Amino acid sequence: MDRQKQRMTLTAAAMLVPLLAACGSEKADGGSASVGAGKPVTGMRWTVDSVTAGGTTHQAPTGAHVTIDRGRAEGSFGCNNFGAEATVDGDRIRLGKTMATEMACENKPMAFEETLSRTLSDQEFKARVDGDRLTLTTEKGDTVRLTKAEDAPLAGTKWTVTTPRADDRAHLTFDEKKGTVAGSLGCNKVNAKATVRDGHITLGPPATTRMMCEDSLMADEKKLLRLFDGTAKYRVDHQTLTLTSENGTSVRAVAGR
């Protein structure tokens, strides 16, 4: 197979894998796998800090990460997403060959991506967890250093709605002190009372502007409006917020987009 066809095959294969960034051994109860003295490595997102290969340390760009879960290693080199099979056995983590997208990103160190890709692909690592730090070391001494990523705070974060899409125009920001939520439904601005308690958000009736936009945006606005004047469960998973209302409306949003 020539190089161009191989590249197309790898890229296509990567697109078939849900990019949830993970490495670990799957458990029947869905719990976390552990490394060493019972320290969990799965079910959480790890930010890549640096990779040391051939005696040279390369600092990671913003966005490079691996989330550890259910027999797969998936994440981002900083620009391109990747996925690979993975297993955990004691303090050993084994990654298969990585499958990656092939985007060219401006202002991203592509040399770092190539180094990290080579270091992670088809390798066995000795893993060490120290507090919120994870270190992966190959037999020849190459090292990937990672830090457990913190969840974005619910209040004060600009949450850009991804489902429904609303062309990335819809966003919400919660103000804990004022007890409000404000933002955009995609076309019209919105604000309402918002009370957060015990994993739930009670939203008051929405006050909105009254502009008319294209049909697709107005349809998404109607879906978002179903969140208001009721109570919704919420969950923050690193940079993702999920809201599920009592009437079955589900909204997903990402932080800082």
Average pLDDT of span 131-137: 94
Query: Is 60 exceeded by the pLDDT of residue 140?
Result: yes
B/e letters for 166-183, b = 16+ CB within 10 Å, e = fewer, are beebbbbbbeeeeebbbb
* Predicted confidence band of residue 36 (pLDDT cuts 50, 70, 90): low
Tokens representing 106? 């401006």
pLDDT in tens, 59-71: 999 889 998 788 8
**pLDDT, greater one: 127 or 237:** 127
Query: Is 90 exceeded by the pLDDT of residue 126?
Result: yes
CA distance 91 to 33: 11
Q: Residues 68, 22: contact at Cβ < 8 Å?
A: yes
CA distance 168 to 136: 36
Q: Say how many C-beta atoms besides its own lie within 10 A of residue 14's C-beta.
A: 20
Q: Of how many residues is the chain composed? A: 257
Tokens representing 235? 């969950």
pLDDT in tens, 103-119: 877 776 788 999 999 99
**pLDDT, greater one: 14 or 181:** 181
pLDDT in tens, 162-186: 999 878 899 999 999 999 999 999 9
